[in-house]
Structure 1
Amino acid sequence: MSIYDAVMAIPRSGRTFENFIKKIGNQATGLTAPNELISAVKGGKKRKSPDYAQAKTYLDELQGQQIANHLGLFIDRKREERPYRVGFLGADIQVNDLKVRVEGDEPHNCSSLVGLGEADIAVAGLDELLAVTHNSLNASATKWGMYNYNLKKEHKVRIAGSAMLTRYNDVVSRDVQDMVGFFLIAKQRPKDDVGTGYPKDYLQHLEHHKNRVFVKGRYAEKVHKSYPKLNIEPVHDVEDAVNDSNTGDVGLEIVQTGSTLRRKNLVLLGAPLFLSESLYVVDYYKYNKKSDEGLIQLLDELTPVGYFEQERLVQFAYWYHALQENLGDNWINKPDILDIFCSQQDALRGLRPYSLKTRYWTPSDSYKRDDAFRFVDNSLAELQEVYNQVLNGRI
């Protein structure tokens, strides 16, 4: 029997790690000096090195600090040189009366640990889930609210809801949720004869003309499955690859604030292929047994938020507003906020509300289906009103 009420996997570095540590630091005890911990892990990026001994000198320098027992060395596989660097190792924390082990790992491994039974819950994005589980889906899931609906029933790794992690955004001078879109990006504006239906029509254009489409290696298989005729080239840095190309090549890239695109004078084309944000990913069958009170109570404390809940609508409006303000004319053929959030086709394909009391955490096609569609319509109307208030500075 485990000595922990629950085991949780989180990324061991990066923005999601920082945002989660800030949030859990206000809810839990046992996490030593959260702000200093974040700073130390950030410092690990600057002090990374392909040489183990050199990278370890930074870890050695931290040994006298109280955060040292939360840190360790790992290999940063996102970097082409695969350097060693300091990152989050783990922590035993107390969430009310729950004893929780939080462990750091590769972002794409966190949900896999839940599937392997090595963790009960993980913080992961839809992009990370799709990169490793897209073959488990009956149909494509472009928003996380569609993911559980398109899973086979025996699949136990399911999304409980959004973690609602936020970060300060300089463009709009407020905290904004860590939402991202998987967008088509280019070095220059496409020619007028390409068409206006981005990104799908432009991707079809690329399939015909065989321009290279740069994609981060971990997404290459999913993109190839969705668009088998594309001339896909896996790269470490999509933005740099697009900028260095002189032959009209484009990229598919995760975009959060658009600041890097603007700095590199790149343009964003149309609507995202999918949306993502930090999510609580859980072993559904362990949760559903009701015998594991620790996991149930931890989720009660973490309070995952549903796709259509009001506080998420507000954050979605903030994110869309911040992205368009930052990119301006560099967002070509910008879609309407409602079209990005949920289309009628999305609702038919499973993007409808569900709760943790709903079987398989997925909307039903037979029980109160019409009510669910009305709820979606009402949510879209509410999002439009919220967005209008954001534009007018009322919220």
Structure 2
Amino acid sequence: GDPRPKVRLGVLLALRRTGDTSAAAKFLEDSDTSVRRAAIQWVGEARLGDLAGAVEKSASRIPVTKEIFEAYLAATDLLAGRNPSQVDQLGSDVLIARMLDDANEPASLRALALRTLRIDHPSVAVPKLEKLLDGDPALRLEALRSLAVRPDEAAQAILRRFTSDPALRFDAISGLGHSAAGSEETRKVLFGLLDGPAQVDAIRSLSGAVDRPDVKDALEKKGGELVAILMGRSAGQPPTLDGWKKVAAEKGNAAAGERLFFHSKGPQCSVCHRVNGRGGFVGPDLSTVGNVLQRERLIESILDPGREIAPMFVHWKVRTKKGDVVDGRVVDEDMSPSGYVVLIDAQGKQTKVKNSDVDERQASKLSIMPEKLVDRLTRQDFRDLIEYLSGLK
């Protein structure tokens, strides 16, 4: 085949139009994810049931992307006899939960299913997640990460147990930020980690309890750039855009950047943004942002988020006739007189307002992304975050 993925994809699409399905199996083995996704979709929509096993093998081949995962879900249902309208309306939650709960599915696909399910779904209840911690390494990690976003004591107790697990401790420590202020047991665990390899994550998790004298004293003894920021002092961050660009010119740690992105006491990136199924819906999905933005543009988008805002992510301020103000991004709208507008704010809360109740509606020139976000980051944090985002492809 041609070495260029776009050419191979073009050939696949041309063959689909001819109705010749003899080459579908070969495309399922392609090294390029976009070609494999198109091949999986082809098999499903053409009802090529004899290729069901090949589809599963293709979908579970590393890397497993969100697009391949979604194509596999749809193809599986089509091959099972559901019509396209049923598949489109199934609200993927049903399909995704079924895949997660099926121990016969490939672990890589079950892990992606776990990333994608909403946190209040029955399939991600704490007892089920705890059982997954004894399984495949990929599933263990995703189960632990699902627990790390839960503030309830049942989840936090499990996280405390896994702070000594070499493969899971960083994510476990990050999740403990939810209970550091209210749990003496959590604080005790985090204090014990202030001198180890996960000390930065432990410091950040303790930041929610910094008003407690014992926490403040422990952090002051540690010192450093992050502690200075948490205490509201100058930490020597660059005062200019060019200064931050010089900081980001040095290579960061992508794994540390990922932890920062999702950390419960970090810059809260994941409240608004999703990466490969995990995170919020307020801002753009960043799963492939490294393909879309060059490193310098990524840096600028964090330092000056209002510089360029895509129309679908404009921040609106709606004032009702009662004087209430609702702001956020428009996620749904019926423009008829009897219709409505639905806005989602920076915390992910959705509010529906009837058009008949609207007194004034204005588009903001500011991004919903916080200004001066870098004021909360150390220089190493910034390098790590840029390294992580630029690698998302």
TM-score range, shorter chain: under 0.3
Higher RCO (CA-CA < 8 Å; seq separation 6+): 1
Higher strand share: 1
Larger Rg: 2
Question: TM-score scaled by structure 1?
Answer: 0.28
Higher helix share: 2
